[in-house]
Amino acid sequence: MQIRPILAALRRHRLATLLIAMEVALACAVLCNACFLVAQRWNLIRINSGVDESALAVLTVNGFESSQAADVNARMLAGLRGIAGMQSVSLINQVPFGPQAGAAGISRDPGSFKNKIGVVDFVLGGPGTYEALGLKLVEGRLPQPDDYRPATNFAPPDAQVLVSRALANHAWPGESPLGKEFWCDKLHFRVIGVVDHLARAHPRDWGAQAVEWAVFTPVLPGGSLAGTYLLRANPADLPRVLRTARDAVAKIAPDVVLDQENSRTIGDLRADYFKSDRIMIDLLIGVIVTMLGVTALGIVGLASFWVQQRRRQIGIRRAIGATRADILHYFQTENFLIVTGGIVLGMVLAYGLNLLLMTQYELPRLPLFYLPIGALVLWGLGQLAVLGPALRAAAVPPVVATRSV
């Protein structure tokens, strides 16, 4: 197939060619970036929280005085543990995807926040919480009974803690985090273990790097550690156990108020937390599909017009020996050339759009492999769209040449 005559013909249709190319270019730019956004969101909603989500629920009560905390804890623990199917009940201050309770800045030095490590989530847990969460220890040791200390402030003045691997890598890259110390103002922490994964309560709010900057701190119940309970049950039993537990609160502790919104399974909390991201993914996919559809329609419309306009010329070519395949290939090649032009421009646009999005949102740079994928999709789309009109062109009989249109 000779390209020169095609280019010569396209030069006579500069405007229409330019329009299709521009449409393809815009579609390419939006396609690459939209796919990238979908991938980003998809990674976000698949965050590994590190806990046994399917077996865990949280139950929150409030409306009691801090002087009543010990009494409420004792009654709630005893009452909830009596529910059939309940494997464990323990105290926690926050769970992944629930309300954030303990985010604070930590540093390598005491006092003012010099030599900062970052803002981390403190997950405070009473005895049994670590085991109930199902965290995976990768280094160091589990909290021992004497690691559980009373919190005079939001955390004990001197605590033995476990950090997530992500936080350990960030704070002490290339070193063993065991035995390392850090401070939150005047509160002192020493690392005794590292867990594989532990997500913070609101993983989306702190940037992709800090999703798992969490510190598990063993604390004795009472004071600020009261009113939020981690329930563990067989995944199949969990909804029933949680329902029973919610209903039982009124009998166990008549004075407290059950926080309806924050007494749910971790699975439900997670689904809720990422609902808007799921919608965004659906929306983006919808936009991609519709946009490709509109682009394809544009190509079909213009190609049909060209075929009709050139019926006579096609007839002449057929009459002087061109085969149907030649005609078919002519329109296919023509489309390929136009779409290629659009893609070249589209890649530049895609990159520009990505730079623009990067200034507006916390987005990383567009990985380069999106560009060839976008190109392949648009080439395929162009060929598919032009096939109908091209086949119609190939069906033009040579006799047309001898008639006036």
Residue ranges that bind another protein, judged by CB under 8 A: 15-16, 19-20, 22-23, 26-27, 29-30, 34, 37, 62-63, 65-66, 104, 112-113, 153-154, 184-187, 224, 250, 255, 257, 259, 272, 275-276, 279-280, 283-284, 287, 290-291, 294-295, 297-298, 301-302, 304-305, 308-309, 353, 357, 360-361, 404-405
The answer to whether 237 and 45 are in contact (CB under 8 A) is no
Residue number with CB closer to another protein (294 or 325): 294
Q: Locate tokens 């077996």: which residue?
A: 55
Residue number with CB closer to another protein (297 or 399): 297
Residue number with CB closer to another protein (4 or 12): 12
Residue 85 phi, psi dihedral angles, 5° rounding: 95, -10
Q: Least Å distance between CB 284 and another protein?
A: 7
Q: Least Å distance between CB 224 and another protein?
A: 7
Q: What angle do CA 262, 265, 269 make, to 5 degrees?
A: 60
17, 18, 20, 24 alpha-carbon torsion, rounded to 10°: 130
Picking from 351, 380, 356, the residue whose alpha carbon sits closest to that of residue 368 is: 351
d(CA 356, CA 345): 17
Residue number with CB closer to another protein (22 or 371): 22
Q: Least Å distance between CB 138 and another protein?
A: 30
Residue number with CB closer to another protein (147 or 259): 259
Q: Least Å distance between CB 278 and another protein?
A: 10
Task: List the beta bridge partners of residue 58.
Answer: 230
170, 175, 179, 184 alpha-carbon torsion, rounded to 10°: -30
Q: Least Å distance between CB 269 and another protein?
A: 13
Q: Least Å distance between CB 79 and another protein?
A: 17
Residue number with CB closer to another protein (23 or 212): 23
Residue number with CB closer to another protein (175 or 255): 255
Q: Least Å distance between CB 235 and another protein?
A: 25
d(CA 58, CA 49): 15
d(CA 367, CA 375): 14
Q: Which long-range contacts (CB under 8 A, 24 or more apart) does 355-363 make?
A: 357/33, 357/37, 362/207, 362/208, 363/36, 363/37, 363/40
Q: Least Å distance between CB 307 and another protein?
A: 11
Picking from 174, 177, 183, the residue whose alpha carbon sits closest to that of residue 195 is: 177
Q: What angle do CA 77, 83, 86 make, to 5 degrees?
A: 80
Q: What angle do CA 387, 392, 395 make, to 5 degrees?
A: 125
Residue number with CB closer to another protein (86 or 252): 252
